[in-house]
Every structure is written in structure tokens, then in C-alpha cells.
Structure 1
Amino acid sequence: MSGQVDHILLPIPPQIGIAAFESGDRFIIVVDNAFPMETQAIHGTGFFSSLTVSLLPDATLIQLRRPDTRRLYLSQRSEGWVLSDKQPSSASTQDNHVINPLPVTDGILYPMRRSGRVLTIADPASGDRLLVGTSLLDEGGILAMRRAEGYDVWPTLEGVVIAARDPDISLIAVPSGLLLNRDGQKFEDDGQAVYANDVDLKWLDLQNFPDQILLKRYHERLLKAADSQPADRFAARLDLARAAISMGAFKEARGILAVALRDDPEEIGRPEVRFLAAATELLTGSPANASALNGPWPEQQRRALQLWRALYLEATDQSDTRSLHRLALDMNRLRAYPQNLRDVLLPIAAEAIARHGAPGDFAVLDTLPDQPAFRLAKAIAAERQGQKDRAYTAFAALAADRNISVAEKATEEKIALDHERGTLTTEQQVKAFDGLILDARLAGREKQLRLRQAEAYARDKQWQKVAEIIDLGVPQSDPSHYSTLRHALLLQALTGIAGEDSLAQSKTQQLHNAALLKAHIPALPPGEERAALLAAYGESMLALGLSDEATSALSQAIPSLVTPETRAAAGASLAQATLANQKPSDALAALNETESPNLPEPLQTRRNILKARIVIATGDRAKGLDMLRTIPGKDARLLSAQSHESQGEWQSATTELRSLAKEEIPAEGSLTKDQQDLALRLASDASRAGDNASSRWISERIGTRTLDESHARLFAVLRESPANDKSLHEDETSP
């Protein structure tokens, strides 16, 4: 809501009656006269900005889309009616402000001080025929829906709304209120309190009777189905299946429907039958067979089935903010379901909202009973809102609950909070999760728990362990949030493995990482991510000296790489691999196909050096050396020296290396392995060239600084040997 606006004034005169009720995701006010109102004059903003006003021949229809679960209030003032999402300060007894029906001689009376007119309209959400009785004064409304033979009484905020299925049901304005009757005759109010008004309840035929009555009703319908004629057989079986659902016998209902549809398969074309079949699959724990709940459905039925669609999406781990909001809007509706259904569905909805719903929907959890499953949902919501201590206390208490599913989930959350608090290391957290595996398996949550272990290792960047856990305990599944997270974690792990510095790893570790990449890449969907990992695998093969394998992987990866930089880097590696296979023309093609302007300087330098190597490899050594002289950095000069060494041009190689050593080898301080390699290489080439000056220079440059054992031994020999002593070169390893 924008600013401090929490109410709007509807300028409806006191001589005009209104009725107010909810239908689907709309709040509707019916004004019993065609009374023009300017929406701009109402100044609806924020939550109230969706308010619309439309004129009917003898009425005005005001509609407001409800984006969340907040409660609305109506109160009357001298200048009109106030619609607000805050309880008026003068209405502290608002919860008791209801119309209570009374049986009278000629029907059922809804008492009012001053009733307005009765209108007949079509419900904007469901299309049902509604009899709308308005009130001129603030009388309140009907607290809960009642379903009876031939009609439903809807809950209202003001006035009376009757969904009349039988044409002989009428609602009449009388001096003492509104009178409901059938053909002017008295009849009993035999309705049962339910909550919603949508077709799913009609199709399910839910009845909130005691179990004994439900069982009797089931037996009566069982006998009726057994005695039915072929023409009536399917309808009788359908009634029997509905009776089974009301008493919680979901498997029996599914079996009854299966037999009925086997004998009359064409009946599945009826929407109420298709819905019932899908609902029984959902209730029996087979959501994969309940996909019909996800549509498509005709427009009039779609809104009515949103609750069950939301339940289906949650059962298949595909829910989103919108479907969870639907569950929040319909939480009271679920609470009013018969107990056998409510006990199954309400905990699922509550936990779904707590785990993945929008924080604005959490308020519906506060009205739930004080039971373990709902305490768990409230604790999860509290944790998401940053109330960690409150959540931790609840999880600790619920960890000992007799319900194994509640206990396992609570313990899981407590362990995660212990790690967040720093009382458990990552390894201890994973081990604690290991101790829950049996309980998680019994609760049907083993793969989810293993996924949490993988998440723990991922936060610690232990990529090999992430991949190992996913491979061993987190199987692939149909599309869902679980499979999405599994894929993301596996991709994260593989990317982490691919990005590790191979120079800092042993050859065994390099081989292990390469094997992990090779094993998983084929299962990844085509695209840039797969190509990036394939390129990384090619790089690892190149580092291990397996140029054929590197060439194959990089050739496959390059066409799917998107950014110029990644293509250019992979092209450089492919060129390097093909050069190793003595195919300079293929190497040049790899560079040309991945050429791009404005590449980072180190990458461009690498590619320029490769171009020089290609020129040298094709026989134009002089041109290649000229190219290397224009390329900055030590790599170009080392390659130039290597070219001279390969031709026995020791003096030229010595000159190149001495120039580089002046820049790379400091006059004092410890020396890295690369610096020691350069010093040894310069001393060796100077010895071969008979360049005593360069030999003395590098000897003095190193001085008395400590070298690695192998470097120290060879450097000592070179220091003491005459420049033309050929024997010392026989034991040298060329760099």
C-alpha cells in the first residue's frame, strides 16, 4: 500500500443498500441502485488501486482484486461506507458483528434493522446465479458458508448472498430483514457449514459429518451402487467415490473410480470426473498421475481449481510464489474442509507457505492450531524472517516429537542453525545430517537431506565432495525445485573443479578432476555452461599432455561458447593442442575462427605467441622470431630463446636469456622455482656458448642465496666448469 493510505471512502447514501462478499480472488460490493461513482474521486492507491466500478441496469458492482491475505473491514459513516484493511477503532466488537439466521413460519429469516433490495446477479468469478440481499445499515454479515439442498449461503461482510441451484429458492426483503424460502413454504435449515463456494467442493461433495455418519453414508451408497441399473451405474459409483473421499478412504475412492472408468471410459471427458480422478491420485500420494489438476480448464472452472492446482504444484515440488499465494488465500477454506481431508492437506499447505511463500503470506500461519506440524511451519517462517532464536527454540523442542516427519525436519533445521551459529563445523554438520539418514528415509526425505549435505560442502567450496554426494545420494528426478537445485549444485561443483589451479595439484588429483568432468559433461544439457566445462576439460587434458583428447573436447566446446573472451581462450588452447600434434595449419584455423578485437592483454599476448609458433613451425623461422620481438612479456622471449637453442645458436639464446634475467631475477631475496629455472638455463646456455661474461654475471647475481637441492647441484657444477666442457651438458635436462 502506498503511503499511509489504509482505507477508502465509498460515497454511498444511507438510503441505498449494499452487500459485500468475497468470490475467488475478488472482493465484491453490490450496491442496490445504479449509482454512478467516479473511481478517481475515491482516491484508491496501493492495495486499493485495482478497484473498479461498473453499472448494471439496476445495481452497481464494485470489485477489488486481492493480492494478498489481509482482512478487510466495512464500516458506515454519515458520508458513506469506509472500506479498510485496518480494523476501525470504533469497531472493537467487529468479530461478533454477524447476522444469525432464525427459523420462522414461512422460511429462514436473516434479521436486519433495515434491509435493502434483493438483486439477482451472476457471480463474476464462477458465473453462479446469486441472490444478493442488501442492507441499509451496518448489520454485519454471514460468518461461514452453509451448503444445503438446492442452495448455498455464502459468507459475507455485509448483507446476505445465496447461490441458488433450485429455481424455487427465493430471497425476499421483509420489514424484519431478509426471508429465505422455497415457493413461499417453510423448510428446515439442514445445511452443513463449509467454507468455499467453488466447484471443487461441489464436485467432491465434501461433507463434514462425524466418522460414524460418514461410514453409514458410504455403506448406503455402496449398496446403491451395487443395485444400480447400467444406465445409473456410473453416477452411483461416482457418488460412492465421493463418499469415500469425505471419510478419508482415498485409496478406496481411487479404486472405485478406476473400476467405474474401466467400464465407462468415455466419462473421463466430464470435467468433474477428470478432476475427481486427479484429486484422488494426489490424495493417495501419486502426484505424478494428478497432472490434470494443472489444466487446462475452462475459464469458469479455472479459478475454482486454483487451490487444488496449488496443492498439485507443491506435491510435485514445482510451486511458485503465485501458487503459494493461492494456498495462503485459501487457508481458511482448507481449515473448513472435513477433518479427514484437512489433516492431510493443511500441514502440506502450511509448510509450503513457510518454506517458499512470500513473507506477506506468513500471517495466515498465525491462525493455525497449536499442533506440531503447524509449530514446525511457524518456526520455519520465523527463521526466514530473521527470528533465529525463536526458531531454534521451536526446532529443539520439535526434534523429540513422536511424529517422525516433524522430528526429522526440525532436527535438520536445528543442525543447520547450529552450523550457522558456529557451534558445528561443515564436517560436523554433514556428519550430523548422516545421523538423520534413516529417519529421513522413513519420512521420504533422504534425497533432500543429501542435497543439504551437498549445499554445506558447496558453501565451504569443497567441490569434489559436493560432486561425490550428488553422485551417490542425490538421484536425478523429473523437473522440480529439487532437480533445479541438484543441477545448480552439480554445475557449481564442476565449475569449481574446472577452475582449480592445476599447477598446485598432483598429477593424481588432476586425473581425478578430469575424470569427474568427463563423467558428468555428457548428462548436461547443450548450452554455454556445458561448453564451458567441456573447454575446461580440454584444458586439463592439455595440461596432462593428452593433446588428442584436448583437441576433441575443445573442438566440441568452441561453437557453443558465447563471449568473445571464452571463445578466444578456448581457441588458443585448441591451437596449442594441434601444434602439439604437429598440425600448424589446424592451429592457425583455430585462432582465426576465434579471433576478436579488444581481448584482455594477457590473452592477446598468448594468442600472438601462438601465431609466432605457427609461423616458425611452418618453416619461416626468421619471420616468427621477428614477431616474437614485438610481443611484450617473458613468454615471448623464452620462446625466442628456445628457438635459438633448438638450432644450436647458444650465443643468441644466451643474449635473450640474460636480458630477461636482468628483469626477472632480483638482486637479493629468496628465489622462486621459475627464477631458479631461468638462472640455471642461462648458466647452461652461456656455458655452451663459451660466454664467460654471462656465466660470471649470473653466478654473481645468484651469489650465496639458497637454491633447491637439484638447482644448487647443477648450478655449482656450471660455476666450476670451463665454458667449453661438453661433459657437463650430457646430464642436463633442457628446460
Structure 2
Amino acid sequence: MMRLSSALLLLLVLPGLAAAEPVTVRAGSAPGYGRLVFDWPAAPAYRLEQQGDRVLLHFPAGTEWRLPQRPPANVMALATEGEALRLSLRPGARARHYRLGSRVVVELLDPTPEGAAEPPGRQPAERGPGTAGGANPMVAPAAPPVAVPAPVSPAAPQEAASPVSTPAARPAEIPSAAPVPAPVPALAPTRGVASRLSLPAGPAILLPFPAGTGAAILRRGEVLLLVFDSPEAPDLVPLQDDPVFGGLLAESLPEATLMRLPLAATSRLLARREATGWTLAVAPAGGEPPPEIDLATEAGPPPRLLLRAPSPGRVVPVQDPETGLPLLVGTLRQGQAAMRTGRRLPELDLPPTLLGTAVLARSDGVLLQAGTDRFTLALAGGGRLSLDTALAGPAPAPELVRSFDLPARPAAELLTQLQALQAGIAAAPPLARLPQRRAAGELLLALGLPQEAQAMLSLGFAEDPRAAADPSYAALAGAAALLAGRLGEAEALRSPAWGDGDEARLWQAALAAARSEWQPAATGFARSLPLLLAYPAGLKARLLPLAAQALAEAGETAALRRLLDAAGAEAAELALPRAMLAEAEGRSEEALAAYDRLAAGRDRRVRARALRQAVELRLASGRLDAAAAAKAIEAGLLAWRGDATELDARLRAAALYREAGKGRAALDLLRETAALFPDRGKALRPALQESFVAALAEAPPLAAVALYDANPDLRPEGAGSEQAILLLADRLTALDLGDRAAGLLRQVMQQAEGTSRAALGLRLAHLRFEEGDVAGAAAALADSAVPVLPPAQQVARAVLAARIEARRGQRDDAVAALRSLGAPGSEALAEVLVEASDWSGAAAAHATALAALPPAPAVLTDAEARLVLRQAVLLALAGDEAGLVTLREAQAARFGAGPLADAFALLTGDPLRGLADLPRLQRELQLFRNLPSRLEALRAGPPLTR
């Protein structure tokens, strides 16, 4: 990596040296033709002249060449002749040429057999920089020979000529009531004439092809692609008025024939080899499926896939009409075997077929070869190719949409191409450099050098105003800035003008992950995972840890498992997501061991995250309590400082301290956090106030008062303020500091509004009433009255107002008011009647309160037992023996052991009737002797909060 960075630095600093680099000429041979590829950094002006068996190629003056050691097929000699290159061809060979991005491709075709017609063709469209995947210069594109054109200027890109066939017809349903007119194909007959057949299964035709011609059929959208590995196509004129096959169009390839048939998805095409050609029949969808082509993985070396099929034909490269990527089609000479289920691998797709096999190449290194009983699929350079890395499910439609050209080729080859691009940039005028700068930026990004890529693309913004107006160029610069750690300069990735393709989704997910927005990041990565896995190694090494962490944080275990399997176990930078996956899958011991190893590592960010994950896992499994977990998280804060990771850890530790009953520790930690993160004060305030209330509840009364006075800025607002003040008032009341509690309640009540004012005023009125200050209680209720209150507060204020009236001597009015409240006023009504010595009325009123008790046989709580005991006292004072018996039978079994149970048994026991009851009388007398000490123990309990 150091050598690579040094070489790139020399390229940027010494453009004059790069300008002297010669143009590399590559040679290759294939059945039927030879090929020369001129690797130019930018599209040059050139012309081609053929004079018999001699071809002259004229390029810009002063060009230096790096010629191949051996010429390709059909070339006898290759040499320079003045300012041109001279090719001496095999007698009868023909030359054709076209552009492929910035490259110039010259193909030398075998001599045409005597009597055979020259196959018509079309000029291949020039690949733009946004075309995904790139094209393999060693694989012939679907482009037939072209006559020698006039010189092409680099300022006016060559446009693609229309194919020989006319536009596809509308997909036909089977059968159709009216014929669908179709244009007459321009392909001239060479071997035979297509004919219609009458078959019981449905419409059918016979396409005459020479013996041994293989065929393959697959669907791309609503169009069927029919590939025959023979260029001798039949005449389709007799089918022009056919309602089904009238839309069949043919295109001649160098060594094959490509046909397109619009056919709705509700129909299927059946193919069968006959002695005179191929029979095609249309039938409704469904029916008996064709035999399946068997897939198997061969370990190698090199590792490859085996597609076992009877009678394999040849491999025909065509261009996929949906994605523009190379589509390698394997034909069959016999049988009907097909791939019924599509598969997706990182470097390629295996789309479903109706006959034969097909490979959609996303990488330049995909190689499909035919054997005796199989097709073999491998990656150039021995890359890993296995069904174990397949992404489940058929290939999606439409395919992944790319915006950048990021070639997945070896670093040395990318560096060579970068050198040529740098030479072209140095030689081009400033306003003609933008395409080369973009291509250089993509190469640098593919090499995993985002800082250099951003520098290269920034020069384009400075030189050419078109750069800022190009959303794709701006997004490419944003991607480089993202990986360089400059998140503020990466916002172009979120521009709506860029579009919503798969590449946009991938980089927007990367930006979200860099900002710790895990859920949207995980969603984007999960949907664009095949594209990420197809990226070049240098770029993928930078993006995979980000994607894996986002998927792990968001709990996307299925996508995370696919990513980790594709990356391999040797990827050390993915150790943390792998441990998080183990935790999510329930392998706790494995996860803990991995976290502990990472916590001892050198990567500070990973170390901090591993420490946190280990603490949380031990807390969830019961190995740590909340207090110990909070201390462990706080102790690990030094592992990573200064960003959202530390802030999140501090908030989590404070929450655990509060859960453990250590509110003061939580408050101190958050006070320190607010000082370290002054810009996050607003976000920290809720946690600070919650910790402040928890500290008030835990502190001794006097310490709680001091804490409240010392932190006026932490006093909560609204319901939180009400809770804190009421809590503090109870603590002061417990110390017999009623006046201090009343003053605090009055002070806060005057500043509060709405329901908080009413609640504080009600508590102040209760405090005054319990101290015997009836006038003060009435004044507190009047001062805290508000127009609208919740029903519960309205009832509580009405009960207290009635009790105040009773203390003032208006007992009848108070009783009437309490009776009108029903059950909520029953306890207060009983108290008023007790003060009037109306025991029977008090017992009757109090009986209403007993209706709220849970049904038998549930054991009574302490508060519920006191309620029942009070009813027993009232019944005993009223002399209601029958009521006591009924109460004893209903509630005696629900009392537990203790003084309350003893008192209830004493009050509800049978009266003395003779000498036989003397032992019971003795036990009751002993109970009375012990009752004062037991009641004193009850009085020592915590005060009740009203």
C-alpha cells in the first residue's frame, strides 16, 4: 500500500512524466476472430483504412506504442508505418472497429465462406462512464462488422446505429383473436425459410438451422431472448402476419443469431430439436417443468461452479437488454434442460431460463466455458466462487442500478490504467478534462484511496462548471469525502437529484452508518448487499466494516450472516460484528470470549464497543447487577472519548445507577457529562432531572432539602416538578418540619399553573388540615382552584372540602356532600360519623370501601388488612354481633400472622358465655398486655404519603 500511494503521488506531482507513457495494445483471439484493444486514457481521434489484406490505423501524431509480443488471429504482422499502425491480415480477413469507453477495439474476422452472405450488423454504442460493471475487452460484444467510417472526433462521441431489426412488437397473449402486424425483418435468408406448424399444444413454428446448432431461451421482462449458436439465420418473412410469432426479430452476431420475441408472462415457449432445425411452440404458463440443470461447487483450484447439462453447445456473449451488462448464454444442442430457479452471487447472477443456461456478469473476471457434459463457471485470477456465497432467492427485476464505474480488477491493472488517464489529463485542455478526472476518481476510489480520489475530483470542480451541475459527479466526490472521514462534505450523497438507484441507496446507507444512524443504514445495506459484495477489493475493505456494524446494531441478522459468510472468517476488521451476531443467535459464551479479546486489542473504537457489549451481555445473563454494570461502563469511558459513543455510554451508566437506587451517583455522572458536552445540554436535561428526583428520594430528609436548595436549575417542570416537591414535602413532614414543608409547597404553588398548581395546593391543604389549621386548609384549596381538573383530583378536593366543613361544625352539610360522592367519599364519611359517635352509620359507610378489596382467597396486603380491621372496630363499637360474624367468616382466613391478625381475631371472636370460655379470656387478656408494644412497632413504620 505504501508503494501504491507513492506511485500515485508521483502521478499527481509529475504529470509531465505520465504524459510520456506509451499506449498499451492488447491482443486476444477467439473462435472466428482476433482482437486488438488500444487502451487510451481518453477517446482519441482516429481512422481506419483497409486496402485488401492491409489495414492502416491512423492515431494522433507522436503516439508511442507498447505492442503485444504475438499478434492475434487473422493478423500476420503488426508494425508501425510512419504515424500509423500497419496490420497485415490473413487473405480474405475483414476488419471492423468500434469504441469501448476510452478504448478503441479492432476485430479481425475470419474470411467469409465462399457463397455466404455478408452478415448485416450495427455499430456498437460507446459505453459511457455510468455504465455498470464495465465490459471485458477479451469478450466479443454483440456488434457485427462495420464499414470503414470517417474519422471520429473525441469531442463528438460516436452514436449507436439502430440494429438491423425493427422495434419489438407488443407482447402477444395466446391465442389472439386478431393478427398482430409486425415489420418485415431486415435479415436476408441464408439457409432456409421459417414455417408455421399446426400442433395440438398451440401455435408453433419451425426455424431451420444447420445440424449441431445449439439454442438457449430466457426471459428478460416481457421479451424472450432466443440465442442460436449459428450465424445462418432463417428467413422470417413468412411469419410477419402471425398473431404470436409476427413480432419475432432477428439480429446476426459474428458467430450466432440473437432473436427477440415479445411474449406475455402468462405464456411459455417450448423448444425441441428436430432433424431440420428447432421447433418452437407456445403454451400457457405452468404445466410440467423442464429438467433442471444441476449445479455443483468444485473446490479447484481454481474454485468454480459446474452446470451439468446434456449436449452443451457453445457460449454466446450478448448484451443484457435490461442492465446493459454482459450476458453469457450457454446453448444446448439437444434436450430441454433449463435453470428453473435463479441465483445471485456477489460477482454474477444466474437468471432462470427456459432452455440452456445464462450468466449475467457483474465482474470483468467471469468466465463461462462449455465442456462435454457440463458448463464450467469460474472467476479470472482464481477468485472465490461457490454456491455457499449465493444470496438466497431469484435474481431481482429490475437488476441493480449503478451510478459509478468501479472496476473490480487487480490493483496493478488499475494503476496502469490510472497512469494512462493521468497522461490524458495532462495533455487535454482544461475544459476537456472532466470525463478523465471522473474516471481517475473512480479508479482511485476502487483502489481504496478516498483522499486521493477526492483531491482529483475537486480539481474538476475548480476547472469545469459542468462538474457542479452533474449530480452523479458530485455524489462521487461525496463518496470519496465520506470514506476520507469528511462527513460534512458528503451531503451530496443525499441529493434528490442523484436519483434513487441501488448505488445511491448503498452510499446513503454508508453515510447514515457513519453518523451512527443504524436503522436506516441497515435497511439500505440489506437491500444493496449484492452490489457492495461486487465492489473492488480496495473499496470493499473500507465499506464492509461499516455495513457489518450497521447490520449488527440494527439486528439485521440474516443480512449480516450473508455478509460475513461472503467476507470470510479471515476478515479481522469484522470481528466485532461477528461477535454481535453470535450474541444475537444465542451463543453467549462465544460472544463473551470474542468481546474480551477485542477489549484487549489496539483499536480504541472497537475496544470501547466490545467493553460495552460485554457488560450488557453479562448484565442480561445475571452475572452483573445494575450497580456493577454501571461502574464497569463508567470505568470504560476512557477507552473512547469525545463523540456520540461516549455520550451514549454515559447516559446508559446513569440509567443503570438510577435502576440500582444510586440516584446521587447518576446525578454526579450526568453533571460531569454536561460539562464535557456543553452543546448537548438540552438533550441531557431530562436525564439530569430524573436523576435529581431519584437523589431526593434516596437522601436523608435534611440532605434532600440541602440538595434541593443547591440545585435550582435541576428542579423539574410540570409533572416532574410536582413529584419532586411532594416527595420533599413528605420528607420534611417526617422530620416534624411542617412549617418548612408548607412554606415550600406554597412557594412552588404560586409559580405553578394548571393541574400542578391544583396538586400542590391539595397537598398543602392536607398538611394544614392534619395540623389542625382548618382556615389554612380552606385557604390553600381556594388559592389552588383551577377551572378544569382530572376527575380524580376533583374528587380528592371535594372530600377534603367536606372534611373541612365538618371540622367547622357543618356536619350535616359535610355528610350530604360525602354521600353524594359515593364510594370515593366513603372513608371520609366514616371519619365524620365516627367524630359524631354514629358507629352504625360509620360502619355502614366504611363497608362501601371494603367493596374495592380483591376477591377471596387472595391474602390481604398490610393496607387492606388495616381497612378490614377498622371495619371490625366500627362494628364492635356499634355492637353489631351479626356483622362481626359475617366479617370474620369472609376475611379471617385472608389475614396472615402478626399483630393485625391477632387484633382482628380478638374483635371478631365469640363473646363469653360461661366457665368454658375462661381459657379464651385468659389468652385475650395476654394479647391485650402485648398489644401496646406491637402497635408501637407499627407506628415506627414509614409515614404514609397522601
- TM class by shorter-chain length? 0.5 to 0.7
Q: TM-score scaled to structure 1, two decimals?
A: 0.57
Q: Deviations over 1:260-293 (max 9, x none)?
A: 4356566333221231232123212233543443
Which of 591, 600, 609 is 2:799 aligned to? 609
How much does 1:255 deviate? 4.0
- For 1:581 and 1:244, the matched residues in 2 are separated by 81
Seen in structure 2, the aligned counterparts of structure 1 residues 143 and 232 have a Cα distance that, compared at 3 Å, is same
SS in 1 for 2:321: strand
SS in 2 for 1:317: coil
CA contact (8 A) 1:419 1:426 kept: yes
AA in 1 matched with 2:551: I
Q: Deviations over 1:650-685 (max 9, x none)?
A: x999xx9999999499899879xxxxxxxxxxxxxx
Q: Deviations over 1:58-98 (max 9, x none)?
A: 245699xxxxxxxxxxxxx9932589xxxx9x644489446
Partner of 1:436: 636
CA contact (8 A) 2:749 2:760 kept: no
Partner of 1:58: 262
Equivalences for residues 143-222 of structure 1 within 5 A = 156=351, 158-161=357-360, 200=402, 202-203=403-404, 205-211=405-411, 214=414, 217-218=417-418, 221-222=421-422
- For 1:609 and 1:701, the matched residues in 2 are separated by 37
Q: Deviations over 1:20-67 (max 9, x none)?
A: 79xxxxxx797448999xxxxxxxxxxxxxxxxxxx96245699xxxx
How much does 1:386 deviate? 1.4
AA in 2 matched with 1:269: A
- For 1:163 and 1:92, the matched residues in 2 are separated by 21
Instruction: Name which of structure 1's ranges 577-586 and 427-436 shifts more when overlaid on structure 2.
Output: 577-586
CA contact (8 A) 2:576 2:610 kept: yes
Which of 671, 679, 704 is 1:509 aligned to? 704
AA in 1 matched with 2:262: D
Q: Deviations over 1:582-602 (max 9, x none)?
A: 365443x42x41153xx4xxx
Q: Deviations over 1:296-325 (max 9, x none)?
A: 2566x43331111222222222232x7524
How much does 1:581 deviate? 9.8
Which of 278, 288, 294 is 1:79 aligned to? 288
Q: Deviations over 1:314-363 (max 9, x none)?
A: 2222232x752442354453344233322221012112222323333343
CA contact (8 A) 2:716 2:724 kept: no
Partner of 1:406: 606
- For 2:758 and 2:746, the matched residues in 1 are separated by 20
1:533 equivalent in alignment to 2:711: no
Which of 666, 673, 691 is 1:473 aligned to? 673
Partner of 2:501: 302
Seen in structure 2, the aligned counterparts of structure 1 residues 246 and 163 have a Cα distance that, compared at 3 Å, is closer
- For 1:570 and 1:20, the matched residues in 2 are separated by 76
- For 2:604 and 2:290, the matched residues in 1 are separated by 52
SS in 2 for 1:609: helix
Partner of 1:311: 510
Which of 760, 772, 779 is 1:582 aligned to? 779
- For 2:205 and 2:529, the matched residues in 1 are separated by 35
SS in 2 for 1:159: strand
SS in 2 for 1:308: helix
Which of 543, 555, 573 is 1:345 aligned to? 543
CA contact (8 A) 2:349 2:360 kept: yes
Partner of 1:150: none
Q: % of aligned pairs identical?
A: 21
SS in 1 for 2:753: helix
Seen in structure 2, the aligned counterparts of structure 1 residues 20 and 448 have a Cα distance that, compared at 3 Å, is farther
How much does 1:383 deviate? 0.7
- For 2:801 and 2:668, the matched residues in 1 are separated by 41
- For 2:486 and 2:534, the matched residues in 1 are separated by 24
Unaligned runs of 5+ in 2: 1-200, 207-214, 227-241, 245-259, 268-285, 364-369, 374-379, 731-740, 769-775, 847-865, 877-896, 901-927, 941-946
CA contact (8 A) 2:576 2:595 kept: yes
1:519 equivalent in alignment to 2:714: yes
1:397 equivalent in alignment to 2:597: yes
How much does 1:380 deviate? 0.8
Equivalences for residues 422-461 of structure 1 within 5 A = 422-441=622-641, 445-457=645-657, 459-460=659-660
SS in 2 for 1:80: coil
AA in 2 matched with 1:608: A
- For 1:288 and 1:361, the matched residues in 2 are separated by 29
AA in 1 matched with 2:796: R
How much does 1:381 deviate? 0.9
How much does 1:382 deviate? 1.3
- For 1:354 and 1:392, the matched residues in 2 are separated by 16
Equivalences for residues 660-671 of structure 1 within 5 A = 663=870
Seen in structure 2, the aligned counterparts of structure 1 residues 213 and 467 have a Cα distance that, compared at 3 Å, is farther
1:254 equivalent in alignment to 2:454: yes
AA in 2 matched with 1:611: A
Partner of 1:373: 573
Partner of 1:594: 789
AA in 1 matched with 2:502: R
How much does 1:388 deviate? 0.9
Partner of 2:165: none
Q: Deviations over 1:226-256 (max 9, x none)?
A: 5542422544444443343233332333344
- For 2:319 and 2:537, the matched residues in 1 are separated by 35
CA contact (8 A) 2:295 2:307 kept: no
CA contact (8 A) 2:608 2:639 kept: yes
AA in 2 matched with 1:310: A
How much does 1:215 deviate? 5.1
CA contact (8 A) 1:542 1:577 kept: no
Structure with bigger helix share is 1
Q: TM-score scaled to structure 2, two decimals?
A: 0.46
Q: Deviations over 1:600-622 (max 9, x none)?
A: xxx66522224337879999898
AA in 1 matched with 2:517: Q
- For 1:355 and 1:665, the matched residues in 2 are separated by 60
AA in 2 matched with 1:308: W
Instruction: Name which of structure 1's ranges 254-263 and 367-376 shifts more when overlaid on structure 2.
Output: 254-263
CA contact (8 A) 1:395 1:413 kept: yes
AA in 1 matched with 2:515: T
CA contact (8 A) 2:503 2:531 kept: no
- For 2:593 and 2:758, the matched residues in 1 are separated by 55
- For 2:343 and 2:825, the matched residues in 1 are separated by 85
SS in 2 for 1:441: coil
CA contact (8 A) 1:238 1:257 kept: yes
CA contact (8 A) 2:819 2:826 kept: no
SS in 2 for 1:248: coil
Equivalences for residues 73-112 of structure 1 within 5 A = 79-81=288-290, 91-93=295-297, 96-97=304-305, 112=312
How much does 1:521 deviate? 4.7
What is the aligned-residue RMSD (CA, Å)? Answer: 6.1
CA contact (8 A) 1:122 1:130 kept: no
Number of equivalent positions: 548
- For 1:494 and 1:82, the matched residues in 2 are separated by 71
Partner of 2:176: none
AA in 1 matched with 2:289: G
Which of 265, 283, 289 is 2:483 aligned to? 283
AA in 2 matched with 1:606: A
- Larger Cα-atom Rg: 2
